[in-house]
């Protein structure tokens, strides 16, 4: 790899190859690097290359072409293309059609000399053991559409038709470039390729139109020496590249800064300039002293109250955070210094880097990720409620008539109510001072964002005084767990399957909306009078930006429904919800039994980490049990997603009706 010149590289979305029919379909962002020998893809983080995930030898590729997007495909999957090689097909998704065309042409440039280019290809995806375009069920079956590879070749080489003339090779061969001194990094200029250029002699470098390079030296008027992102160096025609314009102030700053000085200079410059841009955010309190900050946060006394303040040193910022995780009575205030690395990226937890402080704050409002708790509430908020829980969602308490208590728990009480003298509703209420009041409000906020037929519907809230009300639709048959325990013996096999399907449909929606439930269990689902099931209890639900939420210290979670990565690292994702869904299916088919009923939490955690899993319930067929077991794979990436589970369970429902 180090010897091969990079022809093109970039970030693409990759679909799993489903080498087995039962393999789950998932999508991963990968950094792709194309050379003349191979297409290699890596894990990426903020555009940087991480662990290698796979590679394809270019000599094995026999087709590269567009793919018809699936019906109602999300925006990030609107521009798919394929690379067919050996007996496999790699599906990738570009950000737009121009980007896709660039990749198609770059790959075609590399493979155009291959001996076994195909005459046909499949224009539809291979999904779950079948081609969507023609219905063939063999992955290496002949294509159903003609592939005009000659046209593709023509398009791939057309950019060279009207290219500028290449400067004299004699002049190039006489060039003797001096070594680049160590301390002249500041003299380097960034350039962009105007055209594709294929190296013709040793010492030259390939160019890919649009890619950026570093000009090491203007060797002469005609040939420049440049370096690509992989570190490969060579000379190229100067009329094939142009210098990237840089602001004069930036040039001056960089010219005054040596390599060894640059990181600290960048840190100071970026931190100082940001002081002018965060004053409008509600969490910024300016140059507040540490003592006054702690006093403010303790007065609020709310889990996750926080502010961002200037410390005494100009240009240095601190996140101050209040939590009861370590001291439930008095609480704890922690101060986290906002650091800036050599690339000018901000962080409080080193594995999570951001371009700005507002971006960092937004991330940690959804993810604890190394902090004592999430950044839940700016301490400048006047009370427990905010604008997001008012307006159209605010209901009049006078319109509520309480009928009877339906249940109670650590959050408070649930009452059956009548709204406006005609609508039956369920009313959750919590008293002032209750330790779970923040979670109570969190649940209401989450329900406002989520609307689906298989989620318990929010009608509104009453927040003007205590006790606070969360008003939801009334589900006449109550909690799924209790219904299974008392009425389960009367249910047919198809009904049990449909209950699982209802929950799976709700979870597929949450997954699509980038929400993690974190507390999925039969006790948190409700049954309506028609025996349809809806998911409820969103107090622990979190919106996630990257399908991962690392819980803060001291967070409690349901051990018997938790995946290995939750037990070990308190790391939640949609795949940890999939694990919990498998346990919920087990609850349904065991008619409400307690999972691992003979073991306490510590023993359960130990046994799960050793590979032990729940046994097959008597009412579950071997096929159903295999679905459960697929949810309990030790590796999250090997578990199916909810859409795949929904498809599988839907197929079982259809079979049961025949």
Task: Identify the three-state secondary structure at position 171.
Answer: helix
pLDDT of residue 369: 75
Reported as a single tens digit per residue, the pLDDT across 247-262 is 444 444 444 333 333 3
Mean per-residue pLDDT of the chain = 80
- 480-487 vs 574-589: helix crossing angle, rounded to 10: 20
Residue pLDDT, tens place only, 168-185: 554 454 444 334 333 333
Q: Where are the alpha helices (DSSP H) in 454-547?
A: 480-487, 493-512
Are the C-beta atoms of residues 29 and 10 closer than 8 Å to each other?
A: no
Please check the confidence at residue 480 and state whether its pLDDT lies above 80.
yes
Q: What is the pLDDT of residue 209?
A: 72
**Highest mean pLDDT: which range of 96-105, 109-118, 616-625:** 616-625
Q: pLDDT class for 603, splitting at 50, 70, 90?
A: very high
Q: Answer yes or no: is pLDDT of 198 > 90.
A: no
**Per-residue pLDDT tens for 615-654?**
999 999 999 999 999 999 999 999 999 999 999 999 999 8
User: Is 50 exceeded by the pLDDT of residue 373?
Assistant: yes
CB 209 within 8 A of CB 196: yes
Q: Is 60 exceeded by the pLDDT of residue 390? A: no
Count CB atoms within 10 A of the CB of residue 296: 19
pLDDT digits (tens, 9 = 90+) for 288-344: 888 788 888 887 778 888 999 886 555 678 999 998 877 777 788 988 888 888 788
Per-range mean pLDDT, top range of 229-233, 352-356, 417-421, 449-453? 417-421
Backbone angles phi, psi at 53, to 5 degrees: -110, -20
Tokens linked to 393: 């969602």
**At 366, is the pLDDT very low, low, confident or very high (cuts 50, 70, 90)?**
confident
Least confident interval from 100-114, 119-133, 259-273: 259-273
Report the C-alpha gap between 472 and 99 in whole angstroms. Answer: 46
Percent of the chain with pLDDT over 70: 79
390-394, 422-426, 515-519: which has the minimum mean pLDDT? 390-394
Give the CA diameter of the chain: 96
Scan for tokens 């893809």, then name that residue. Answer: 41
Give the C-alpha distances (Å, rounded to integers) separating 368 from 17, 321, 323, 348, 376: 33, 11, 12, 11, 10
Q: How far apart are CA 550 and CA 517, in angstroms?
A: 13
The CA distances from residue 54 to 20, 32, 81, 484, in Å, are 17, 10, 18, 46
Q: Are 317 and 310 a contacting pair, CB within 8 Å?
A: yes
**What is the C-alpha end-to-end distance of the chain, expressed in Å?**
56
CA angle centred on 168, ends 164 and 174, rounded to 5°: 140
> Average pLDDT of 435-445?
64
Q: What is the pLDDT of residue 263?
A: 33
pLDDT at 532: 95
**R_g of the chain, CA atoms, integer Å:** 30
Distance in angstroms (rounded) separating the CA atoms of residues 442 and 447: 9
Per-residue pLDDT at 45 exceeds 90: no
Task: Please name which of 395, 415, 436, 411 lies closest in space to residue 524, comparing C-alpha atoms.
Answer: 411
Q: Over 50: is that where the pLDDT of 385 sits?
A: no
Separation CA 453–CA 464 (nearest Å): 29
Q: What is the pLDDT of residue 94?
A: 94
Q: Residue range 597-618: average pLDDT?
A: 94
For residue 257, count CB atoms less than 10 angstroms from its CB and return exposed for 0-12, middle for 13-18, buried for 19 or more: middle
Tokens (6 digits) for 360:
């960092």
Q: Write down the pLDDT at residue 68.
A: 93
pLDDT at residue 435 above 80?
no
Q: Which residues are catalytic?
A: 519
Angstrom distance (rounded) from CA 156 to CA 101: 9
The lowest-confidence range among 127-131, 157-161, 216-220, 408-412 is 157-161
User: Which single residue is written with the structure tokens 């009904």?
Assistant: 495
What SS3 string covers 368-409?
CCCCCCCCCEECCCCCCCCHHHCHHHECCHHHEEEEEEEEEE
pTM of the model: 0.49
Of the listed ranges 131-140, 261-270, 373-382, 400-409, the one predicted with least confidence? 261-270
What whole-number percentage of the chain has pLDDT above 90?
35
Mean pLDDT to the nearest integer, 451-475: 88
The residue with greater pLDDT, 433 or 658, is 658
**Dihedral through CA 498, CA 503, CA 506, CA 509, nearest 10?**
-90
Higher-confidence position of 246 and 184:
246
Residue 572 to residue 415: CA distance in whole angstroms: 32
DSSP 8-state assignment for residue 354: B
Q: Report the C-alpha dihedral over residues 490, 614, 506, 419, rounded to 10 degrees.
A: 60
pLDDT of 267 > 60? The answer is no
pLDDT in the model for residue 482: 96
Q: In which residue are the tokens 């003349």 written?
A: 36
User: Of 1-15, 148-162, 489-503, 534-548, where does mean pLDDT reach its minimum?
Assistant: 148-162
Query: Is a pLDDT exceeding 90 seen at residue 415?
Result: yes
């Amino acid at each position: 790899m180090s010897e091969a010149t990079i022809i093109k590289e970039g970030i693409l979305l990759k679909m799993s190859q489903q080498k087995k029919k039962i393999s789950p379909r998932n999508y991963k962002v990968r950094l792709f690097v194309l050379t003349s020998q191979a297409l290699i893809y890596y894990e990426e983080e903020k555009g940087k290359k991480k662990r290698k995930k796979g590679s394809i030898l270019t000599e094995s590729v026999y087709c590269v072409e567009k793919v018809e997007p699936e019906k109602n495909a999300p925006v990030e999957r609107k521009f798919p293309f394929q690379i067919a090689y050996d007996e496999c097909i790699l599906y990738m998704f570009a950000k737009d059609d121009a980007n896709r065309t660039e990749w198609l042409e770059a790959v075609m440039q590399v493979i155009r000399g291959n001996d076994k280019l195909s005459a046909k290809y499949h224009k539809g995806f291979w999904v779950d053991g079948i081609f969507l375009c023609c219905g063939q069920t063999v992955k290496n079956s002949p294509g159903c559409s003609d592939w005009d590879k000659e046209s593709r070749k023509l398009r791939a080489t057309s950019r060279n038709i009207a290219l500028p003339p290449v400067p004299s090779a004699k002049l190039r061969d006489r060039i003797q470039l001096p070594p680049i001194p160590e301390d002249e990094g500041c003299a380097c200029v960034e350039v962009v390729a105007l055209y594709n250029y294929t190296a013709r002699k040793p010492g030259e470098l390939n160019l890919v139109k649009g890619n950026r390079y570093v000009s090491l030296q203007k060797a002469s008027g005609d040939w420049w020496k440049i370096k690509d992102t992989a570190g490969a160096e060579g000379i190229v025609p100067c009329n094939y590249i142009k210098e990237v314009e840089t602001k004069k102030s930036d040039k001056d700053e960089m010219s005054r800064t040596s390599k060894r000085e640059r990181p600290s200079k960048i840190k100071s410059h970026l931190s100082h300039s940001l002081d002018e841009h965060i004053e409008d955010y509600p969490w910024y309190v300016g140059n507040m002293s540490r003592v006054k900050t702690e006093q403010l946060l303790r007065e609020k006394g709310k889990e996750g109250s926080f502010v961002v303040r200037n410390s005494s040193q100009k240009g240095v910022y601190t996140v101050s955070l209040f939590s009861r995780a370590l001291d439930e009575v008095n609480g704890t205030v922690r101060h986290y210094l906002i650091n800036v690395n050599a690339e000018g990226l901000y962080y409080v937890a080193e594995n999570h880097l951001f371009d700005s402080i507002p971006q960092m704050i937004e991330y940690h409002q959804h993810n604890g990720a190394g902090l004592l708790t999430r950044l839940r509430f700016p301490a400048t908020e006047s009370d427990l409620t905010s604008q997001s829980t008012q307006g159209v969602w605010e209901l009049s308490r006078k319109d509520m008539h309480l009928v009877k208590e339906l249940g109670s728990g650590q959050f408070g009480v649930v009452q059956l109510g009548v709204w406006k003298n005609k609508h039956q509703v369920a009313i959750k209420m919590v008293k002032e001072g209750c330790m779970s009041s923040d979670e109570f409000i969190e649940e209401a906020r989450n329900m406002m964002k989520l609307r689906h037929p298989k989620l318990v519907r929010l009608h509104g809230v009453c927040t003007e005084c205590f006790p606070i009300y969360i008003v939801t639709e009334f589900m006449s048959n109550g909690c799924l767990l209790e219904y299974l325990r008392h009425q389960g013996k009367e249910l047919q096999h198809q009904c049990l399957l449909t209950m699982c399907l209802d929950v799976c449909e709700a979870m597929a929606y949450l997954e699509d909306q980038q929400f993690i439930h974190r507390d999925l269990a039969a006790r948190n689902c409700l049954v309506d009078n028609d025996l349809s099931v809806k998911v409820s209890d969103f107090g622990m639900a979190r919106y996630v930006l990257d399908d991962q939420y690392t819980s803060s210290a001291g967070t409690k979670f349901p051990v018997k429904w938790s995946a290995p990565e939750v037990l070990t690292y308190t790391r939640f994702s949609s795949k940890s919800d999939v694990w919990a869904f498998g346990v919920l299916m087990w609850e349904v088919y065991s008619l409400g039994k307690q999972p691992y009923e003979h073991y306490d939490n510590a023993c359960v955690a130990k046994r799960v980490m050793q590979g032990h899993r729940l046994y097959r319930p008597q009412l579950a067929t071997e096929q159903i049990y295999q679905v459960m077991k697929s949810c309990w794979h030790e590796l999250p990436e090997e578990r199916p997603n909810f859409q795949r589970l929904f498809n599988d369970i839907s197929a079982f429902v259809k079979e049961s009706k025949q």
